[in-house]
Copies of this chain bind each other. A is one copy, B any other.
Amino acid sequence: MKSIYLALGSEIDPEKYLICKFYFESQLSDEEAAESIAAESSIGTWTDVQTMKEEIKNRLAAKVFKLEKNIMHIAYPLEMFEISVPQLLADIAGNIFGIKFVDNLRLLEVKFPSKYIKSFKGPRFGIEGVRKLLKIKERPLVGTIIKPKIGLSADEHARVAYEAWVGGCDFVKDDENLTNQGFNPFKERVEKTLKSLDKAETKTGEKKNYAPNISAPYSEMIERAQFVKDNGGKCIMIDILTCGFSALQSIGEENFGMVIHGHRTMHGAITRNEKHGIHMNVLAQLSRFCGIDQLHIGTIVGKMSGDKEEVLKNVEACIYKCGLKSAFPVCSGGLYAGHIPPLMEILGKNIIIQAGGGVHGHTKGTSAGATSMRQAVDAVMDGIPIEEFIKTHEELRLALKKWKR
C-alpha cells in the first residue's frame, strides 16, 4: 500500500504549502520515520481509524517530498493552519518531538507561503521605525542592560540608566529576570527611569529609548504595557519564550504603538542541541510575525553559544523580504566594546549591540563603559583601526585593557 504521506520527488507549490526541513534520527527506516512524522503532524495517528475519509487524506495529509540521509522535507497544506502561532506550532513542532521511535528530531527551517505571512501584523516599527524614532540613520544602535540583573532599587536603576544614556547608549533595557519584585517595583522603576530618559535626552540632544520588562501573566502584562505608555514610554520588553506565543501574538495585535523588544531567555532549552528541538531562526520568524521589533539573535563572540552560521540564519529570519517589516537584530550576551569591530564586520550596520557587564564593568564606571561602546562604533564607521583609535579615546582604551584577550 502506498503511503498517503510519501510523495518523494513531487513538485511542491510554495504558495499552497508550508515547507519544513527536519533533521532526524530514528530506529525505523528513513521512510517509516518520515511517514510517522508527517502523519502525527497532520492528520494521522498510530493506527488506522474508521472515521478517516478519502477526501481528508487528499486535502490535508502532509507530504514528505524529499528524503536524504537524516534530513526530510515535508509540505503541509496551507488549509491546515490558522493565523495563530500556537496552532502552527501544534502542527509542525508539536507531538512529533515525543514520538518513541524517533530518537532525535530538529526543525531546521520553515518556508511560509507569502499570503500566510502577510496575514500576521508583524513589527509596527521594524528597523526603519526604530531608526526614525531615535534619529539614527546608519550606524548600529548601542544599548545596555542594567546590571546587576536584579537587586538595584528603582532609584539606583534610574540613576544607572541615566549614566548609560549620557555616556552614549541609545537604548537601555531591564534584564530578563527583573519584572516587579519588592526591591525594585515595576511602576516606580518605570516612572523614575523614564524621567532619567527625559533628562538624558535634554543633556545629550540625542533621542533615547528604554525597554521595561513587562513579562508577566497576560492580563498583568497588558496593564504594565499601558502603564509604560501612560508614562510616555516608547518601548516594552517581553521574554518571548517564558511568556509564550499566545501572549506574544496577542500583545502584538493589541498594538500599543510602542516598540516591542524581544528577549529570548530559555531559548537554549529548545534551540541549543544540534540534533533536537527547534532552530532559533524558526522562533525568530514567528516572533517577527507576532510583532517583535527588536530581537536577540546571538553574539557569535560573547558568553553565549551560537556560531556565525547560526547567528546569520537568525538575522536572515529577522530581515528577509516577506511583506512584513524587518525586526532589528540584537546582539547581546557577554559583549564589550572590543567585540564591536568583528561583529560589524560579520553582521553589518543594521544591528543593535548591547553590553551589560561590558558597560557597567568598565573600570571608570557605567558612563565610561557606554562611551567606550559608542567610540568603538565610531571607529568602525570612520574606518579607523581600533588600535589607532584608542590613542585618542581613553574609555575605549581602558575597555580593551580590561577585557581584550
Contacts and interface: CB of A to CB of B under 8 A. Distances in A.
Contact of A357 (B46, B219, B363): B46
A96 to B, nearest CB: 7
A47 B360 CA distance: 9
A278 interface: yes
A90 interface: yes
A299 to B, nearest CB: 9
Given A98-B267, A98-B268, A305-B100, A42 B93 contact: no
Given A90-B215, A217-B253, A218-B218, A46 B269 contact: no
Interface in A234-251: 239, 241-251
Given A215-B90, A243-B245, A97 B272 contact: yes
Given A149-B44, A150-B60, A82 B269 contact: no
A84 B179 contact: yes
A98 B305 contact: yes
A60 B49 CA distance: 56
B183 A243 contact: no
Contact of A94 (B43, B52, B266, B305): B266
Interface centre among A52, A220, A268 (most CB of B within 10 A): A268
Interface in A86-138: 86-87, 89-91, 93-100, 105
B250 A219 contact: yes
A100 B304 contact: yes
Contacts of A1: none
Contacts of A293: none
A276 interface: yes
Interface residues of A, number: 104
Contacts of A180: 82, 84, 87
Contacts of A401: none
Interface in A188-216: 215-216
A246 B249 contact: no
B95 A268 contact: yes
A170 interface: no
A95 B97 CA distance: 22
Nearest to A91: B177
Given A270-B269, A303-B100, A181 B81 contact: yes
Contacts of A85: 217, 242
A147 B94 contact: no
A45 B253 contact: no
A358 interface: yes
Contacts of A46: 302-303, 334, 357
A176 interface: yes
Nearest to A359: B49
Given A95-B265, A357-B47, A361-B48, A86 B243 contact: yes
A273 B97 CA distance: 10
Contact of A254 (B50, B219, B266): B219
Contacts of A7: none
Given A45-B148, A90-B215, A247-B247, 16 more contacts: A42-B150, A44-B148, A47-B403, A51-B147, A51-B160, A51-B360, A79-B182, A84-B216, A87-B216, A89-B266, A90-B239, A97-B269, A98-B267, A98-B306, A244-B247, A244-B248
10 contacts: A44-B149, A60-B151, A84-B217, A85-B217, A87-B215, A89-B239, A93-B242, A98-B305, A100-B303, A277-B277
